[in-house]
Amino acid sequence: MTGTALIVGASSGIGEAIARRLAATGWRVGLAARRTELVEALAAEIGNGSIAARVDLGDADAARTEIAALAARLGGVDLWVLNAGIGEANPDFAWAPERDTVRINALGFAAMADVALHHCLARGRGRIVGVSSVARFLKRPAAVAYAASKAFVSVYLDGMREAARRRGGRVTVTEACPGFVKTEMMKAPAPFWVASPEKAARQIVDAALAGRKLVYVSRRWRLVAALLRLTPR
């Protein structure tokens, strides 16, 4: 299967790896990120009609406009990859990091998901994959805003999936739930079961194209998630 994909958060890590994987298999890719120079260089490298645009989720309303414009430039989108986000340790609960994490990971996610869902519903088809995290099950005081924002992403994707089901058509919504992936965002002091961005990209793309509801990256993190659900709160 090939088509047109739009990846928000394509400048590095999982998003970049997904872009490379899709382009290598014949997909035309729209690359969106705040760091314009990186996605422009990536678009030139992977070719196949790929295009790049600046999208900053720090301004949700502007991001919606920018994402919709990129979708229009692509002439329609078959696969949406909603991957952008931030995360940093904040054990002292300083306000600025908490505010920025919630603004980008929750409000920013809702902004790009809104564009993707309405686009797919209007076409009567499409695949949407949103990147959450196993962190949504954790109660770590060093990263409360990050964990909470990823829980928001998970619940939001559930709601999108039900909305799409009720509308009919052929729109699928997949939640990708990574554990540790070797990217610049990984800040754990002693990580285990670390996946490469390429492995994460392969599993996420395969799940999205198969229309699966949920994929853990790597799959063994399903066991951790099951144990965390049983942990008393």
* Residue at 25: amino acid letter: T
Q: Is 156 a catalytic residue?
A: no
**Which one is catalytic: 137, 146, 152, 216?**
146
Edge-to-edge strand list for the sheet holding 79-82 = 51-54, 28-33, 4-8, 79-82, 125-131, 170-178, 214-217
Query: CA of 83: how far to CAs of 19, 68, 119, 176, 230, in Å?
Result: 11, 16, 17, 9, 28
Residues 6+ apart with CB under 8 A from 15: 7, 8, 9, 33, 81, 83, 84
Instruction: Give the DSSP H or E segment for 31.
Output: strand 28-33
Residues identified as active-site:
146
